Chain A
Amino acid sequence: MSTLEDFRRETRAWLEANCPQSMRTAMPDGELVWGGRTVEFKNEDQRLWFERMRDKGWFCPDWPAAYGGGGLSPEQNAVLESEMRRLRCRPPQINLGIWMLGPVVLEFGTEEQKRELLPPMARGEIRWCQGFSEPNAGSDLASLKTSAVDAGDHFVVNGTKIWTSYGDKSDWMYMLVRTNPDVPKQQGISLLVVDMASPGIEARPIDLISGKSSFCQVFFDNVKVPKRQLIGPLNGGWTLAKALLQHERRAMSKFGEFSLPTHFDLLSIAGKYLPAQEASSPADVALRQRAYAMAMDEMAYSLTAQRMGEEARARKNVSGLMSIMKLVHSEQEKDKFEVLVDVLGHRALGWEGEGFEPQELAITKAWLGSFAQTIAGGSSEVQLNVIAKRVLELPEGNPASAGKQGK
């Protein structure tokens, strides 16, 4: 125990000495640092913090040192995380490779793959993107069709992936491909890692109703992928995909801790735009009342997050609570922006330019953006299926209505 206390002291001292002050503040969306072949820094502090953490091996503190990690035990890693939280240190970089693919390679990869893939990941030299969804495989991910055909020492990949965040800016992709079309759908899927610079790959950004987005559609036209870039067993990709998605949930919750999403305070905005109580028409009163109720539901949600944390610390089973969080939050956001748009009236109908306040334009964009929230990362309908099946243990229906994977 005392060695762990020593570690805490040393870690605290090191962070105090090495984490620049400006890296100890909540991080606005625009200030994320993405690791990769070309890293962009907004300022010198970002670069310093990136390099110091990298050299310490603390981009992936709990990976073995042999693969470029920090070699910390789970206990030491927990200490590091708590010390970083205490100082409010920003993550030095964001990298899907480290958060999602890395742990899967550690668990399922060959020794050669670990030595090849992990060290550059641990140095933040490769920016990774994820190729899962396809135009015809969204909620029903296992029906994906992008094919990888055996051609001796390599696969030939054809097809398309969609909703790939930063597909146009990433160096490598980990992707699910169909390697056997003649078996039940989950049993013919494999996981490949692919260099985005390979001939035959094209990434096109997707414009959303809210404007420019980081999402891309990525096209694969006879792309050669060496066989050593198959992770895990051939046709065994579905198990790895499930593991990846679990890491995704963990990563997302971590990400949420650090990032500072633009928050619109319903009550103060309602206070600013609605007429004073005395001057309110019945319609104003009704709208104010809706805004209040919405704020209360938001409060009930954040209390639920707090309660889930408490119950988890008390070692209670929180899987039921966990299953409602994404559903409730994304649906609430949608409802909240509807109310905000009502409150702002025609001030919420701007697209760009001088005629509108920046906050007004931001609310309009966020309203449009909120529509994606109940679709991305498992649609509300999929979330409801999960609650019905796993939490309430309601019986299976017919495959179409139950969202059953396979036959």
Chain B
Amino acid sequence: MSLVYSEEQQLLADTAAEFLMAKSPVTAQRKLRDEGSADGFDAALWREMVDMGWSAIPFPEALGGLEFGCKGLGAVFEQIGRNLSASPLLSSIVLAGSVIELAGSEAQQAEWMAALIGGDKRVALAVDETPRHGPAAVALRARREGAGYVLTGTKAFVADGVGADAFIVAARTGGQPGEQGGISLFVVAADAPGVQVSPMKTLDSRNHATLVLNEVRVGAAALLGAEGEGFAALDAALDRGRVCLAAELLGSTQSLFDTTVEYLKTRVQFDVPIGSFQALQHRAAWCYAHLQLARSAVMAGLAAMDDPALDAAARARMASLAKWKAGDAAHRISREAVQMHGGMGVTDELDVGLHLKRIRVAQASLGDGDFHVQRYGDLSAVEA
């Protein structure tokens, strides 16, 4: 398991850096916010990303993918984080696409993969119902009726839910909330009767939605995988999302850190650059150390997703490590970035605040630090 990017992966990272800096810098995200974009991203930019092949990176060739792995994807997400670029790459490709790849039948894959990879359709993954992430806490009911199912319940915080063509809904067909068994995955069209999507205006100005399903009828063909056995595929797809989000967090944190160190060198008070004060130097040095630890954890998480020698538990452990440590470093460094920028740090004029807000959302998404620490520990206990 290699913890550095290969030459090809590095090349992709460089291309992504160049492209995003030109087409989707932080100023572009600021503009999206100020215009109150409903999608939270620029459709034309997303089209260009698709044309560059980013949406095909993680999938097998047989499904129209590039088989370039999560590490390749990570190289892109790091740059996405640096530029705060918004796109449905995480929601529609990494999360929804992976569920269909991992749990879908051939017919379902044929129906969706090409459309997702081609950017013609957008699918959002609807899992969470409680304020904090908990894929096993699913309570939304799906009851059998005739050959199909009827779904009723509410999903919260569905990323890129506004404007999605369909949702992959995790629903309970058996067992109790909190249990991994009894969860089934359904594809639900956004225009099906009883589906109601309302935007949640989140602090990172991205697209999030509340999804209400009121007696929504779906056919048997909407069920992905076996009834009641959806959790494994769901969790594997979430793990891919977690490591990509960790890479995004790493990129965003790196950018904040670089900006802050630069500020320490140029901001003059008491006739000297404030970076000459040891009180700030030591804190900056600690930030650097945690950033390095986070980078190692993220690289290991990305590499674990691509490593066929690892079992699901080992992969899950590394994904949790990556998401936790990236979030931990992001938390420390974003707080320091604001503080070290002084009064300017709390103004909207600087990008520091935009990073801080996105980091807060990304930290909470797909499991916060507490969630992943517990998950890592539980998985280790099983192993021991």
Interface centre among B276, B284, B285, B293 (most CB of A within 10 A): B285
Taking a contact as CB atoms under 8 Å apart, the answer to whether B297 and A384 are in contact is no
Task: Known contacts A267-B377, A288-B377; decide if A395 and B4 are in contact (CB<8 Å).
Answer: no
Docked complex Cα distance between A395 and B297 (Å): 30
Taking a contact as CB atoms under 8 Å apart, the answer to whether B377 and A295 are in contact is yes
Name the interface residues of B252-305: CB closer than 8 Å to any CB of A: 261, 264-265, 272-273, 275-278, 280-282, 284-286, 288-289, 292-297, 299-300
Name the interface residues of A84-114: CB closer than 8 Å to any CB of B: none
Taking a contact as CB atoms under 8 Å apart, the answer to whether A310 and B276 are in contact is no
Docked complex Cα distance between A130 and B289 (Å): 30
Taking a contact as CB atoms under 8 Å apart, the answer to whether B297 and A303 are in contact is yes
Taking a contact as CB atoms under 8 Å apart, the answer to whether B293 and A392 are in contact is no
Q: Which residue of A lies closest to B266 (CB)?
A: A395
Q: Is A65 an interface residue (CB 8 A)?
A: no
Taking a contact as CB atoms under 8 Å apart, the answer to whether A292 and B374 are in contact is yes
What's the least CB distance linking B142 to chain A, in Å? 30
- Overall SS of chain A's interface: helix
Q: Quick one: which of A267, A295, A392 contacts B285, CB cutoff 8 A?
A: A392
List of A residues within 8 angstroms of B282 by Cβ: 381, 384-385, 388
What's the least CB distance linking A171 to chain B, in Å? 40
Taking a contact as CB atoms under 8 Å apart, the answer to whether A387 and B277 are in contact is no
Taking a contact as CB atoms under 8 Å apart, the answer to whether A327 and B261 are in contact is no
Q: Is B2 an interface residue (CB 8 A)?
A: yes
Q: Quick one: which of B289, B370, B376 contacts A387, CB cutoff 8 A?
A: B289
Task: Known contacts A292-B376, A292-B377; decide if A395 and B275 are in contact (CB<8 Å).
Answer: yes
What's the least CB distance linking A291 to chain B, in Å? 8
Interface centre among B3, B280, B296, B324 (most CB of A within 10 A): B296
Stretch of A48-56, A359-367, A396-404 contacting B (4+ beta carbons < 8 Å): A396-404
Q: Which residue of A lies closest to B4 (CB)?
A: A310
Q: Which residue of B lies closest to A393 (CB)?
A: B265
List of B residues within 8 angstroms of A320 by Cβ: 288, 292
Contact-residue size bin, chain B (C-beta under 8 Å from the other chain):
35 or more
Name the interface residues of A242-286: CB closer than 8 Å to any CB of B: 267-268, 271
Docked complex Cα distance between A186 and B380 (Å): 52
Name the interface residues of A204-253: CB closer than 8 Å to any CB of B: none
List of B residues within 8 angstroms of A395 by Cβ: 265, 272-273, 275-276
Interface centre among B284, B286, B288, B289 (most CB of A within 10 A): B289
Taking a contact as CB atoms under 8 Å apart, the answer to whether A296 and B376 are in contact is yes
What's the least CB distance linking B47 to chain A, in Å? 36
Q: Quick one: which of B3, B261, B278, B299 contacts A401, CB cutoff 8 A?
A: B278
Docked complex Cα distance between A295 and B376 (Å): 9
Q: Write the A310-332 contact mask toward B (1 if CB under 8 angstroms, else 0).
A: 11001010001100100110000
Taking a contact as CB atoms under 8 Å apart, the answer to whether A304 and B284 are in contact is no
List of A residues within 8 angstroms of B380 by Cβ: 267, 292, 295
List of A residues within 8 angstroms of B325 by Cβ: 296-297, 300
Q: Is B384 an interface residue (CB 8 A)?
A: yes
List of B residues within 8 angstroms of A397 by Cβ: 272, 276-278, 281
Taking a contact as CB atoms under 8 Å apart, the answer to whether B276 and A396 are in contact is yes
What's the least CB distance linking B141 to chain A, in Å? 28
Q: Write the A12-41 contact mask toward B (1 if CB under 8 angstroms, else 0).
A: 000000000000000000000000000000
List of B residues within 8 angstroms of A392 by Cβ: 261, 275, 281, 284-285, 288
Q: Is B381 an interface residue (CB 8 A)?
A: yes
Q: Is B21 an interface residue (CB 8 A)?
A: no
Task: Known contacts A307-B4, A388-B285; decide if A402 and B278 are in contact (CB<8 Å).
Answer: yes
What's the least CB distance linking A328 to chain B, in Å? 5
Taking a contact as CB atoms under 8 Å apart, the answer to whether A394 and B264 are in contact is yes
List of B residues within 8 angstroms of A267 by Cβ: 377, 380-381, 384
Q: Which residue of B lies closest to A290 (CB)?
A: B373
Q: Is B158 an interface residue (CB 8 A)?
A: no
What's the least CB distance linking B329 to chain A, in Å? 9
Q: Is B321 an interface residue (CB 8 A)?
A: yes
Taking a contact as CB atoms under 8 Å apart, the answer to whether A300 and B294 are in contact is yes
List of A residues within 8 angstroms of B300 by Cβ: 303
Q: Which residue of B lies closest to A403 (CB)?
A: B278
Q: Which residue of A lies closest to B7 (CB)?
A: A314
Taking a contact as CB atoms under 8 Å apart, the answer to whether A385 and B324 are in contact is no
Taking a contact as CB atoms under 8 Å apart, the answer to whether A306 and B296 are in contact is yes
Docked complex Cα distance between A194 and B321 (Å): 51
Q: Which residue of B lies closest to A265 (CB)?
A: B384
What's the least CB distance linking B263 to chain A, in Å? 11
List of A residues within 8 angstroms of B295 by Cβ: 304, 307
Q: Quick one: which of A295, A296, A324, A388 contacts B281, CB cutoff 8 A?
A: A388
Q: Write the B176-219 contact mask toward A (1 if CB under 8 angstroms, else 0).
A: 00000000000000000000000000000000000000000000
Taking a contact as CB atoms under 8 Å apart, the answer to whether A300 and B321 are in contact is yes
What's the least CB distance linking B377 to chain A, in Å? 3
Interface centre among B272, B273, B284, B373 (most CB of A within 10 A): B373
What's the least CB distance linking B378 to chain A, in Å? 9
Taking a contact as CB atoms under 8 Å apart, the answer to whether A296 and B373 are in contact is yes
Docked complex Cα distance between A303 and B381 (Å): 20
Docked complex Cα distance between A295 and B282 (Å): 24
What's the least CB distance linking B265 to chain A, in Å? 6
Q: Quick one: which of A292, A306, A401 contacts B373, CB cutoff 8 A?
A: A292
Q: Is A66 an interface residue (CB 8 A)?
A: no
Q: Is A183 an interface residue (CB 8 A)?
A: no
List of A residues within 8 angstroms of B281 by Cβ: 384-385, 388-389, 392, 394, 397
Q: Which residue of A lies closest to B286 (CB)?
A: A384
Docked complex Cα distance between A215 and B42 (Å): 65
List of A residues within 8 angstroms of B293 by Cβ: 297, 300-301, 304, 328
Q: Is A349 an interface residue (CB 8 A)?
A: no
Q: Which residue of A lies closest to B370 (CB)?
A: A289
Q: Is A376 an interface residue (CB 8 A)?
A: no
Docked complex Cα distance between A345 and B373 (Å): 22
List of A residues within 8 angstroms of B286 by Cβ: 384
Docked complex Cα distance between A228 and B293 (Å): 49
Q: Which residue of B lies closest to A388 (CB)?
A: B281
What's the least CB distance linking B200 to chain A, in Å? 29
Docked complex Cα distance between A310 and B303 (Å): 14
What's the least CB distance linking A224 to chain B, in Å? 43
Q: Is A299 an interface residue (CB 8 A)?
A: yes
List of A residues within 8 angstroms of B265 by Cβ: 393-395
Taking a contact as CB atoms under 8 Å apart, the answer to whether B292 and A303 are in contact is no
Extra contacts, 10 of them, besides A293-B324, A394-B276 (Cβ < 8 A), are A299-B321, A307-B295, A314-B4, A327-B289, A328-B293, A387-B288, A389-B281, A394-B281, A394-B284, A401-B276
Q: Which 3 A-B pairs have the closest CB atoms?
A: A292-B377, A388-B281, A397-B276
Would you give 28 A-B contacts (Cβ < 8 Å), ordered by A? Answer: A267-B381, A289-B373, A292-B374, A293-B324, A295-B380, A297-B293, A297-B325, A299-B321, A300-B293, A300-B294, A300-B321, A320-B288, A328-B293, A381-B282, A384-B282, A387-B285, A387-B289, A388-B282, A388-B285, A389-B281, A391-B288, A392-B275, A394-B276, A394-B280, A396-B276, A398-B276, A401-B277, A402-B276
